[in-house]
Structure 1
Amino acid sequence: MKVAVVGAGAIGAYVGAALHRAGADVHLIARGPHLAAMRRTGVSVLSPRGDFTARPEATDDPAAVGPVDYVFLGLKANSYATSGPLVHPLLHDKTAVIAAQNGIPWWYFHGLPGPYTGQRIESVDPGGAVTRTLPPERAIGCVVYAATELAAPGVVRHLEGTRFSIGEPDGAVSPRCLDFSAAMVAGGLKCPVEPDLRNDIWIKLLGNISFNPISALTRATMGEIAGHDGTRELVTAMMRETLEVAARLGSRPGISIERRLDGAARVGDHKTSTLQDLERGKPLELDVLLAAVVELAGLTGVPVPTVRAIAAVAGLLAETTARTPAAADPSNPSSASNPSNPSDPSSQDTARSAP
């Protein structure tokens, strides 16, 4: 099995190291000091489950890797439309693209029976740009429940969780999913093949749609948001509205709002990835989290006044931030990527699962 990890930051390098440990032919696509460190000493994983070092190939040139069986996308979803130069040299006729993203994916209605089959979601696939770059038939969905961060170039700190749920858009338990799952499990990770991955997408989105933008707007941690009466009520309203949209689309995630809130409270003093991006002057990944749900609410006729209000103010924050990006701090390994370049193969430097 030949695998390329495009965006080998915290999550991507962790997955690549695990697959390499399992015997897969792994190639990490990255850049800058992180790439130099991985070329020099490999990927060092620091984990409560046991530290290890893997030495997969690492490069900034996908053409030097050539076609692979699987492309694991560790990029932010807002860079998918411009990822063609990184992804296309890696493709052959049967290459699968495993998109490890938060929020609503561009392939959401691909293979989904019902009145919206084939519907394109403009907010996550503007003008079909993502579909042209990453055809949905190549896509394998992936919901990440692992928490990792780059402790230093070439060094991944694994904080918690090892589950990477995957699934076909049409719900099939396909050989390509089973083969990839087996390789992940052999590398020490959990990788269940879900017949309906959309339920997992909505479960994780319940936290992302509420805590991520509110944290950016307030600069508060997840624990602070969950522990404040006003914001806890705001999160509850956003989650209720989101669950109604999911239900109209045929998904009923098996988790309660109180459980999601209690999970966030237990996380405590943690900054969401959106707040971290804001502090680093990076583009905010809000379209797949907020704008997509607003669009789906309009499609299904669900009133989502709270989600719309937060989407409006968070959207303005994203616009003003994009006009005045902060300079990357060369002393901080998590700022090694170029915030002005959405196709930077190291752009997903930090990842943490929602509670």
Structure 2
Amino acid sequence: MKVAVVGAGAIGAYVGAALHRAGADVHLLARGPHLAAMRQHGVQVHSPRGDWTARVHATDRAEDIGPVDHVFLGLKANSYAACGPLVEPLLQDHTSVIAAQNGIPWWYFHRHGGPHDGKRIESVDPGGAVSAVLPQERAIGCVVYAATELDGPGVVRHIEGTRFSIGEPDRSVSKRCLEFSEAMQAGGLKCPVEPDLRNDIWIKLLGNISFNPISALTRATMREMCLHDSTRGVIEQMMAETLAVAEALDCRPEISIERRIAGAERVGDHRTSTLQDLEKGKPLELDVLLSAVVELAGISGVEVPTLRTVAAISDLLAQGTAVAA
């Protein structure tokens, strides 16, 4: 099995290193000092489960890799529309694209069934720009429950979690999903094939849609947001509105708001990825986390006043960050 990791940052390099350890033919696509370090020293993984190093082929040229069986996409979702030159040289007829993204994916209504089947979500696929680069029939969904950070170029710190749930848009348990899942498990990761991954998407989104924008607006950590009564109330309302949208779209995430917030509080003084991007002057990945759900609320006829308010304020912050970048 040949795999290319496009965007081999903290999550991508971690997955690539695990697949390499399982015996897969792995290629990492990266750039800058991070690429140079991986070329010289391999991917160094520091983890509570044990430290290890994977000597994986790394390059900044997709042409050097050629066609693969699976593309693991470690890029932020707001980079998808521009990733054509990175992905196109990797594709052959059967190549799948496994997008490890937060939020609502561009393929959400692909083979969904029901009244919205095939509908494009403008917030995540503006003008069809993402679908043009990443055809929906290639997509395998992926919900990441692992937390990693780059401690330095080529050095991945694994904080917690090893689960990467995957699934087909049409809810089938496909051969290509099983192949990738088996390789991930052989590399020491959990990779269940979920018949309806959309439920997992909404469970993960409950936290991202609330904690991520609020953390960027307040500069607060997970624990601080949970312990501040008024902020916690806003987060609870955002989660309740999100669940109402999910249910209107025939999804029933099996988790309570109380349990979701309690889990976030246990994470402690962790800064969300959106806050980290803000501090680094990077574009904020809020379209797929927040704007998409507001759009879906409009489609499904659900009132989401708190989500709309936070989305409006967050959008102004995101515009300022984009200008600064």
What secondary structure is seen at the aligned counterpart in 2 of 1:106? coil
Aligned to 1:116: 116
Superposed CA RMSD: 0.5
Matches within 5 A, 1:185-334: 185-325=185-325
Q: What is the alpha-carbon distance in structure 1 between the residues aligned to residue 205 and residue 230 of structure 2?
A: 21
Q: Which residue of 2 aligns with 1:37?
A: 37
How far apart are 1:99 and its partner, in Å? 0.2
Q: Where do 1:173-184 residues align within 5 Å?
A: 173-184=173-184
Aligned to 1:157: 157
Q: Deviations over 1:87-118 (max 9, x none)?
A: 00000011000000000000000011100000
What do the CA deviations read for 1:219-278 (whole angstroms, capped 9, x no partner)? 111111111110100000000000000001010100000001111111111110001100
Residue 323 (structure 1) shift:
1.2
- The residue type equivalent to 2:320 in the other structure is T
Give ranges in structure 1 of 5+ residues lacking alignment.
326-355
Correspondence for 2:77: 77
Give the distance between the partners of 1:165 and 1:22, measured in 2 at CA: 18
Question: How far did 1:56 drift?
Answer: 1.2
1:61-72 equivalent positions in 2, closer than 5 A:
61-72=61-72
- Structure 1 segment 92-171 matched on structure 2, within 5 A: 92-171=92-171
Q: Following the alignment from structure 2 to structure 1, what is the Cα–Cα distance between the partners of residues 322 and 67?
A: 35
Structure 1, residues 18-48: CA drift from partner, whole Å, max 9, x if none?
0000000000000001100111111111111
Which residue in 2 is equivalent to 1:336?
none
1:265-295: per-residue Cα shift (whole Å, max 9, x none)?
Answer: 1111111000110010000000000110000
Q: Distance in 2 between matches of 1:246 and 1:215?
A: 23
TM-score (norm 2): 0.99
For residues 145-201 of structure 1, the C-alpha deviation after alignment (integer angstroms, 9 at most, x for no partner) is: 001111111111111000000000000000000000000000000000000000000
Residues matched between the structures, number: 325
The offset of 1:9, in angstroms, is: 0.4
Q: Relative CO higher for 1 or 2, CA cutoff 8 Å, sep ≥ 6?
A: 1
Q: Which amino acid aligns with 1:282?
A: K
**SS of residue paired to 1:150:** strand
Q: State how far apart, in whole Å, the 2-side matches of 1:189 and 1:73 are.
A: 17
Describe the SS at the equivalent of 1:200: helix
Cα distance in 2, alignment partners of residues 188 and 59 from structure 1:
24
Moved over 3 A (4+): none
Structure 2: gaps of 5 or more residues: none
User: What SS does structure 2 have at the residue aligned with 1:233?
Assistant: helix
Give the corresponding residue for 1:54. 54
The residue number in structure 2 matching 1:8 is 8
